[in-house]
A and B are shown apart, each in its own frame.
Chain A
């Protein structure tokens, strides 16, 4: 892959929404976000298969998580402070309600839940976990905070209602 890729991400690509959307502002409906994501998911799966699609969404989530940490959070070494900041910004932006169930940074093990999740809350009940983008997003946030690499797996995805998605994060050497 060449270095002068057409779609290389930069935060500036998000644009100056204030001046670009003086009447409509910077919010849209959740359905619109989901329409985009599930359309991508469908088409990408047809091109590269299910496994690769999940991998792509995980990696895209990780890229977004890294950028999000850089631009939306203040670096801190304190876990409580990190969680507190993240809870606030995720709630303020309508992304989800984050709660920590367990956290042992020495062992590199964290279990957290996200309720009213932007990606999946209210979806019809499915037989599989769907938040691969969230998995990557959370892994990057944890890596940026701790300096350790994390593998994040969604262990419960409760699509219907406001029940939380549960993510297990384990650090890897």
Chain B
């Protein structure tokens, strides 16, 4: 076809209209205008813009999966955005699974907000975890968490054939403290006991928890019963010499303590039962005492 100035002008108008439609019209034909079929490169330009348009419209409606086949700066930029959104999706899934180390660094102001949210979530989860593990009155491990750790120590001892000890501690005459001085004074007595435990030179691997009203327990990993007895005696003595202060009132408390040592085949219950028996022996023999469980050969005598 011979192109006259008029003809060229017409083709140009059709091309401009087509390109404008690709950018602004609600719907566009999938093929370029017939009149431009023979114009070099126009079909390629049309299909590139159509693909970019389809991808952007998909993004606008939340669909990131449009497969972009065209190359070049503009399709590439959209592909980079697509990759970022895919990665963001993956990061969000990781955060949902508890990985709070994820940080976004490619989405401008959104990244800052997102990262702040993750930091807050992390803190909240840590607080929730702490609350789930802690006795609200004394701040020590609660029964559930203590028993979980006790179980883990038992498993460890079985696996490595190591030794550890369990200490049961019960405040003496605690009911009298509550009855005579009030429950707030009783609460202060329990808090004082925890302070004594914290300042009785327990090792970092040792742990204790409140397992009942006025009952506490301690686990001492890698410790034989003689060592555990010495630790228990130190706690007993510290407690005996520590004054409980409550609203101007001052009084002293004591505890009876029983100790058991891990043996083959032990369960949490069997170790607790033996420590409990030893603790009752301490009560029976006058309170404010430490009693060790008898050696295995003397059991049943």
Contacts and interface: CB of A to CB of B under 8 A. Distances in A.
B83 A101 contact: yes
Nearest to B97: A80
Contacts of A164: 79-80, 83
Contacts of A125: 71-72
Contact of A158 (B80, B90, B99): B80
A125 B71 CA distance: 8
Interface residues of B, number: 17
Contacts of A162: 80
Contacts of B71: 125, 158
B73 interface: yes
Interface residues of A, number: 19
Interface string B197-215: 0000000000000000000
A160 B83 contact: no
Contacts of A101: 83, 86-87, 89-90
Interface in B81-109: 83-84, 86-87, 89-90, 94, 97, 99, 101
A100 B76 contact: no
Contacts of B80: 115, 158, 161-164
A163 B101 contact: no
Interface of B: 71-73, 76-77, 79-80, 83-84, 86-87, 89-90, 94, 97, 99, 101
The 9 closest A-B pairs by CB, nearest first: A101-B86, A99-B87, A163-B76, A163-B80, A80-B99, A113-B83, A158-B76, A164-B83, A100-B90
